[in-house]
Structure 1
């Protein structure tokens, strides 16, 4: 069947994600004494709830501060949180080339803070008519429901959609859900 839509992942496809030492230190990931591993495990659990819409930004921040004993005001947290999103070289050009010929969609495991920031900083992403966002749907990749929802949001059956992601497990999940899929390895 002919591909009529490209559904992009967001992080490390349309925008880059760069986690620097300041971010790691602020969230307690940096210590070499084993506490960094615990902080990362606590973060992963809380982020799953945040990125599936079970908790909001304030609750996510409060839980991180309380669980990890952080001294981090909400405003500073939001600033640091959004600082990890950076331009992906060539992504806007790729998006524009595809959008000129096919329908475009988005399927992203993301949260409301990052989504608001991305729409403001990268207007081309905000032009996607009906993005499929985990914090709205409650589904994370590679759950089949996430891919099916993304296809619905471009008004096409899975076999008419190409999904592009940077993680092999998400590409595999898309193919199991009936989409064509490819691993993103850069815009070159």
Structure 2
């Protein structure tokens, strides 16, 4: 079986698997598997906060009241790990939408549609979004974009692509868990 990252899923003794139990974690539905990789250098687990996964899940599902609530909790507790998690999700989403052979015109059309959808929201500059997406598809391309703009582009792109795909719950959970594992790597 292959993961969305194009690598085989193999058993790894450094991987820890836990299942949420009813009432143990209100952010995760019962039975959802959460995996993390043991970081041998640090001698401990480097786990992504379940709240970050829940935040993205509610964003993709359009549950904006829950998303605001989780966002407020994260504002109070800290967003540690979110930039890496969002970057991993962005990579996965762009790969799912465009693959390795997307043409510039397809990316331009996607960005134009994305900006129309988020009209009235935070500004997303077309040239920056196109450059970031194209550089994800072709790593030989370069870009000069502020971190703030990168975050906006990544969040809007992830939401758009994964919402448009209308993933089943199990598919979405697997994708979020894979991105969490990718994020946990050092």
Instruction: Bin the TM-score by the shorter chain.
Output: under 0.3
User: Could you state the TM-score of these two structures normalised by the residue count of structure 1?
Assistant: 0.26
Higher helix share: 2
Give the structure-2-normalised TM-score.
Answer: 0.26
Q: Which has the higher strand share?
A: 1
